[in-house]
Amino acid sequence: MEQQPKLRVKLFADGADLGAMIQMYKNPAISGFTTNPTLMRRAGVKDYEGFARELLAAIPDRPISLEVFADDFDTMYAQAHQIASWGKNVNVKIPVTNTKREFAGKLIQELSESGVTVNVTAILTLDQVRAVTRCLSPRTPAFVSVFAGRIADTGRDPVPLMAEAVKIISAKPLSELIWASPRELLNIFQADAVGCQIITATNDILAKLSLVGKDLDDYSAETVSMFYRDASAAGFAIDTVSGNKRAQTSS
């Protein structure tokens, strides 16, 4: 990532590996960080608050989204205020619904009006974008995370939906749209082209920024070399018979 492409979209690193997040913090191209309970569990996090406080101590000056994990809205409300109290750079992730598919609109409105910067997450439809936008306070910054990668997983093109979402949230100028769950580097450029303010991506995708503009003939040759090296290292061999030799042609 030595030579960054010129992008308007801000890059947020998504993960829960504390060491990797701190390493990403050294990169000025990374404008913020997101995580969630699933990523934390995969990373082996056992103490939610302990992990969060250690992360905030290491990264005190860029936005960090930390998610509530209750399923009832009263407990979500209490968790949200507690999480928000851990640092000025904390954004509290609120799922767009609970597991009963009940819309979290009232909770989102109460938190936003009280000054909590929410990051409404797990959004996949424009109806959800509209409903969430209506709940956001015009006086409080907020993030609206649309899981464009999961939309693409269903065979739908997320680009038109994300372009329309940009228009919808413009009604709340302090709110920013996040292109969440990208699947490939190209998504960063798609997010930039439609006017998304933010894209959040895992380190493996962000690492591919070093490939931007790479000569494709060189990349082809490197790929062939990789196949050859790996076949040799594996000790692969095929017995060939003389009858299968290439015919010699005279010039």
Q: What is the DSSP letter of 103?
A: B
Q: Which whole number is the average pLDDT over 46-64? A: 97
Q: What is the tally of helices (H) and strands (E) in the chain?
A: 11, 8
Lowest mean pLDDT among 34-43, 69-78, 94-103, 241-250: 241-250
Quick one: pLDDT at residue 240?
81
| pLDDT one-digit tens code per residue, 199-240 | 999 999 999 988 999 999 999 999 999 999 999 999 999 988
Helix (H, G, I), strand (E, B) or coil at 155: coil
Distances (CA, A) of 191 to 85, 208, 212, 248: 31, 16, 16, 54
- 115/162 Cα distance (integer angstroms): 26
How many Cβ atoms are within 10 Å of 195's Cβ, its own excluded?
15
Structural domains for the chain = 10-208 (3.20.20.70)
Question: pLDDT category, 1, cuts 50, 70, 90?
Answer: very low
In one-letter notation, the amino acid at residue 226 is M
| pLDDT one-digit tens code per residue, 159-168 | 999 999 999 9
Q: What residues does 180 pair with on adjacent strands?
A: 147
Put simply, whether the predicted model's pTM sits higher than 0.85 gets the answer yes
Strand duo 64-67 + 30-34: pairing? parallel
